[in-house]
Amino acid sequence: MNRIVHVILIFVIICLIIGFWLYRNHQNSLIKHPYEVLVATYSPLDSMGVAIQNAYTSVLEEEGVPFRWVKRSEILKSNPVEIVKTNPVIIFPDYISLKIPLEFEIWITEYIKVGGNILITNDSGIKMRNDRYRDTAIFSSLLGMNYITYDKYTADAYRSANLQFRDQETADFFQVPYGKRDENNYITSYVYGALQYPVARIDIDDISDTEIFAYSVYENGTRDPNILLKSFHPGNILFVNLPLGYLKAYGSDEFLLRMVLRTFLFKIIKIAHIVNMPDNKAGLVMNWQVENNREWYNIPRMEEKGILRKNFPVSCHISAGEWLNQTGDNLGFDAANHLSLVNKLMEYGTIGSMGGWAYNWFANKLSNNQFNDREVEQYIARNNDLLGRIAGYKIREFTSPRSLYNHLIAGILEKNSVVSYQYMGDAGSPPNRSFIQGKIFSNRMFAFPVMPIGKHASVQEIGRYGITAAEYEKWLMETLSYAEKNKLTTMICANFYDYRDFPQYIDPLKHFMNKAEELRNENLLLIKPMSFFADFWNKKLNTRYEFRFEDNKMFITLFYPQGMKDITIALPKDLCRT
Instruction: Work out the pLDDT band at 553, boundaries 50, 70, 90.
Output: confident
Beta strands in 248-313 (DSSP E): 273-274, 282-290
Per-residue pLDDT, 138: 93
Mean pLDDT value across the chain: 92
Residue 89's beta-bridge partner residues?
117
CB 421 within 8 A of CB 445: yes
Q: Closest Cα partner for 277 from 520, 71, 540, 27? A: 540
CB 396 within 8 A of CB 417: yes
Provide the phi-psi class of 42: left if phi over 0, else alpha when psi is between -120 and 50, else beta: beta
Digit-coded pLDDT (tens) for 452-482:
999 999 999 999 999 999 999 999 999 999 9
Instruction: Work out the pLDDT band at 151, boundaries 50, 70, 90.
Output: confident
Q: Closest Cα partner for 367 from 411, 327, 403, 325? A: 403
The H or E element that residue 194 is part of is: strand 193-194
Asked if residue 29 has pLDDT above 70, the reply is no
What percent of the residues of the chain are helix, what percent strand, and what percent coil, each to the nearest 5?
40, 25, 35
Digit-coded pLDDT (tens) for 488-539:
999 999 999 999 999 999 999 999 999 999 999 999 999 999 999 999 999 9
Digit-coded pLDDT (tens) for 43-101:
999 999 999 999 999 999 999 999 999 999 999 999 999 999 999 999 999 999 999 99
- Exposure letters 379-416 (e unless 16+ CB within 10 A, then b): bbbbbbebbbebbeeebbbbbbbebebeeebbebbeeb
The H or E element that residue 164 is part of is: strand 158-165
Q: Closest Cα partner for 262 from 49, 452, 432? A: 432
pTM score = 0.92
How far is residue 272 from each of residues 30, 88, 455, 520, measured CA to CA in Å? 17, 10, 36, 27
Residue type, 176: V
Per-residue pLDDT, 6: 52
Digit-coded pLDDT (tens) for 302-351:
999 999 999 999 999 999 999 999 999 999 999 999 999 999 999 999 99
Asked if residue 230 has pLDDT above 90, the reply is yes
DSSP 357-422: SSHHHHHHHHHTT---HHHHHHHHHHHHHHHHHHHTS---EEE-GGG---HHHHHHHHHTT--EEE
